[in-house]
Structure 1
Amino acid sequence: TPEIDYILIESTGLGEPLPIAQTFYMDDLQQRVRLDNLVSVIDAANFWRYYESEVPDENNPGESVALAPLLIDQLEFANTIILNKVDFAEPEVVDALEALARQLNPSARILRACYGDVPLSELIDTHRYDYERGFEHPDWEEEWNKTGSESEEYGFHSFVYRADRPFVWRRFEALLEEWHPSIVRCKGLAVFVDHEPVIVQQAGRHVALDILDFSDPAADAPQIPSPSDDKAFEGCFINPITQYGDADPETLTTELVFIGRSMPEAAIRAQLEACLV
């Protein structure tokens, strides 16, 4: 087994940094690993729209829950805050968001980015997380004893759509124009009978479709450490935008992950099925 230098954990977009950090105080984890950096990636183009919105409270019919507390939690306890998609937001909107982040979390490192492009040194081996300061957070005790998840609290849920048959490009393109408003996030691979496969990245009102390119391998992909480690690292170091591993384009199938608030899953699945060949 190759020696592990660093473990990078990607939480759900609904996750709060505080309970994630608390995981590393359990059992003997402090002796085995060191929590290095809690990173929150913020959608600068849609933050204020979500901040002012409410969602139905599934536990109390007729009532609603504000999303603002969840967004504030993601800012307050992070060590590094990345204001992403600044190219899709007005400068004054980004300035206001950065001012809010600095007010809530003065010690955090705040970066602006497009497509999440930040120096790797800002993310890995930063030594920014302070175990002692974690205990000092006013919500530490409450969060430690909390039951349930952010998904349950704010009415979010997710599902995965898979299909062996390909989509028809025109039908899928038309569906994007009628995307259900309850879908907050969608990402994955879409395969077509009459178009190149695309990586789907949807967040809020922004939808990006990146065509897969099988002709030119990712030039900047890290190298496998040694021939003996080939199996251990098989499938790693793939840039999904430019190279979907070594897969045969003819064998690819559609797989899309949906995250949303009170999504009509059956209706969305039916719409996707109608796009198939």
Structure 2
Amino acid sequence: MLRSLKTYLRSSLQNQTEETSGYVVSLLAFIAFLAGKAMGFQENIEGLYYFAVVALIYGFLVFLNSLAKAFIGSGFGKLLVSGVLVIGSGISLALARQTINGELHVPSSAYPITQSILAVLYAPLTLSICLALSGVLFLMVGVVLSFMPVKVISMKSLLVNWWNEAFTAKEIVLNFTRFIGLIAVISVAMNFAKENDWYTDALASFTRWFAYSFESEEYSYCTLKPGERVAYLSNNKIVVATKGVNDEYLYEIQTCL
């Protein structure tokens, strides 16, 4: 009996796709979390809950990746993705420039490398803001596609599949799980878009450190005092950077002498 059950479970798990494997792991972790709570375990039990959420989101992202490949292959998909990338890059670059200007109190043009790296590091925040703003729309589309009684993968299938392509019980459960995964992704994005002080503070500290350590020059044709570093602006203007006690950085605009 136990051997046959073990064989059945092994066969069932081997037949899972990467997507459904993520959902199964998420379910097992969540059951373990509930069991731990019921038995009174408090220490480190929250880790199982977060692991379940991560596994759920992983499975949903695998599903989303399969959709994205087909969508990006179309001409409209390439155009839309290109537009989103351009807009997202513009927002990230604007955030990077504002961070340099706000933290160093000098023009951001003095530190183009820092600006480029910051733009990349701001990408998760930009994506989270976009998902948070469009979350209601995505949820509405997810509800329609997840709970319609037929498979809809194109406009033609929407017209002709009403009588011969109904979902099976397994597909209904899978679509419902995908919808829960969509809710988890949007919830994480909204939370990060709302509470990101820890991330932006880290980027601010990184900006001050990187601009001084890697993009300010120690030797220059301009006159510098000991411990000063320089970055260049236009019209004979420079940014002089100094490092004080407790790793405090000071940036000032001066004239090159």
Normalising to structure 1: TM-score of the pair? 0.20
Select the structure that is richer in strand.
1
Q: Which has the larger radius of gyration?
A: 2
The one of the two structures with greater contact order (alpha-carbon pairs below 8 A, sep at least 6) is 1
